Structure 1
Amino acid sequence: MQAIDGFLPAKVAEPPRADEIHVWRLHRPKGAGRGPLLALLATYLGIAPEAVRLVSGEHGRPALDAIHGNALDFNWSHSGEQALVAVTRDITPGIDLELQRTRASALEIAQRFFTAEEAAWLGTLDEDTRHAAFLELWTAREAVLKALGRGLAFGLDRLSIHSDTSGLALRRLDGDDPAAWQLRRLDVGADAFAALAWRGTPRHIRLFTLADAA
């Protein structure tokens, strides 16, 4: 993964290559809605932000309208005033971002919605480690579900995630071959957790931080 800070989208004018995924870290002020997302997509499309048209899939996943062609796909996630946007070609990405925060009910949630093995593993960890591990498993699940175009109603226990110092791995996904999937931990600082998922071959992830246009 390549991290590049302080870039304007115009400085990365070329679309992602066939072996790349561009991931942008954006500031999303309260009340900004989809504004930062549309501005970024507009740069890739070479049009004004107000000309960008999005549609929603069956389960609410946003995508570019067919009027923009099918060269690019994207996914985005936001937490607090931060957002991540993945821009790709020829695959459907899923990305999720969660700011670090304590969840008193993390183990209870895991026991209710995760697999029995994952909940048991979380139960062996000390409280601080457990909260971090829970958020990592949560963002990884969300990323996979977004790449599938599905929501949480798909069932969080229908997939299993493995996490260790070497990274993330999809161990089980009902109705699909987990070996056909890529799941990556994203380094977005000590205050947040993020994951990126897609079905297909490995790709080079280029991580950018959007600079202040001023």
Structure 2
Amino acid sequence: MSLHVPNLPEAEIHVWQLPWDSDAASSSSIRDLLAAYAGPDAPEVDRGEHGKPLFRGQASMLGFSWSHSRDTALFAVGRGPLGFEVGVDVERVRPRVRAIELAQRFFAPAETEWLKRFTGDDLLDGFLALWTAKEAVLKAHGGGLVYGLHRVGFAPDGYYLAPADFDGDIGPASAWQVGKLELGEGLVGSVAWRGESRSVRVFTFPV
């Protein structure tokens, strides 16, 4: 499939929202998007130490990531220095009666205390905002959930989550940008990248 995508300057991150199901067509759409951004001379996709898909060599200036939840997927892509890291995560909103219990298990104490200020839908939104922000960073880094949600700490301020305490080789937190995505009702998503601030543009697939 020949797919036209917008020009991707280094000052932007592009995020595509697309339908997802278990058939091959959904995976094919993501491959088509990646191929359109990478160009005809791109090498084969390789895997990092923990299984993260990536390009090697000069092609690693193009970073990419994808995530899916139920019927929706996100694909994020950006250009930067060699080994550019970008990650994205999406969650479909559904009741989570154990949100505080999960936060106490996987989040930092200050993050859990922040969540305890909320109830009902506000609690769920806050929990998912934190979860997706953490996962987006972990996917960009490549360590995934195995690296540990607790090692990616945020300083909540209202509904804004500022990177605050990133542990190990994922740090320092000041080197990262994390943004909440506006995806429509019933979805919460975040995108993260290591580097300077950029504009995030969200597109809907198919074009």
Q: Normalised by the shorter chain, which TM-score bucket?
A: 0.7 to 0.9
Structure 1 equivalent of residue 69 of structure 2 = 79
Structure 1 equivalent of residue 105 of structure 2 = 112
Alignment of 1:134-173 (within 5 A): 134-165=127-158, 167-173=160-166
Alignment of 1:16-31 (within 5 A): 16-31=8-23
AA at the equivalent of 1:191: G
Aligned in 2, Cα 1:37/1:64: closer, same or farther, shift over 3 Å? Answer: farther
SS across alignment from 2:125: helix
TM-score under structure 2 length normalisation: 0.87
Aligned mates of 1:61, 1:34 — CA distance in 2: 16
Residue 62 of structure 1 is aligned with which of 40, 53, 57? 53
In the TM superposition, structure 1's runs of 4+ consecutive aligned residues that sit over 4 Å from their partners are none
Equivalent pair of 1:28/1:36 in contact (CA under 8 Å):
no
SS across alignment from 1:190: coil
Residue 98 of structure 1 is aligned with which of 87, 91, 97? 91
Aligned mates of 2:140, 2:56 — CA distance in 1: 17
TM-score under structure 1 length normalisation: 0.84
Structure 2 equivalent of residue 38 of structure 1 = 31
Structure 1 equivalent of residue 174 of structure 2 = 179
* Aligned length, in residue pairs: 200
Structure 1 equivalent of residue 187 of structure 2 = 192
AA at the equivalent of 1:31: D
Structure 2: tracts of 5 or more residues without a match: none
Aligned in 2, Cα 1:121/1:45: closer, same or farther, shift over 3 Å? Answer: closer
Q: Deviations over 1:11-40 (max 9, x none)?
A: 52x3x1121111111122332352221011
Aligned mates of 1:165, 1:84 — CA distance in 2: 26
Q: Deviations over 1:154-201 (max 9, x none)?
A: 122222123445633111111322112111111011211111111111
Structure 2 equivalent of residue 5 of structure 1 = none
Aligned mates of 2:156, 2:76 — CA distance in 1: 22
Equivalent pair of 1:42/1:52 in contact (CA under 8 Å):
no
Equivalent pair of 2:163/2:178 in contact (CA under 8 Å):
yes
1:46 Cα deviation (Å)?
Answer: 3.7
Q: Percent identity?
A: 41
Equivalent pair of 2:126/2:159 in contact (CA under 8 Å):
no
Equivalent pair of 2:5/2:37 in contact (CA under 8 Å):
no
Aligned mates of 1:115, 1:166 — CA distance in 2: 17
- What is the aligned-residue RMSD (CA, Å)? 2.3
Residue 88 of structure 1 is aligned with which of 78, 99, 117? 78
Structure 2 equivalent of residue 202 of structure 1 = 197
Q: Deviations over 1:140-161 (max 9, x none)?
A: 0001111111121212222212
1:120 Cα deviation (Å)?
Answer: 1.9
SS across alignment from 2:51: coil
AA at the equivalent of 2:12: E
Aligned mates of 1:73, 1:177 — CA distance in 2: 19
Aligned mates of 1:153, 1:47 — CA distance in 2: 34
Equivalent pair of 2:5/2:36 in contact (CA under 8 Å):
no
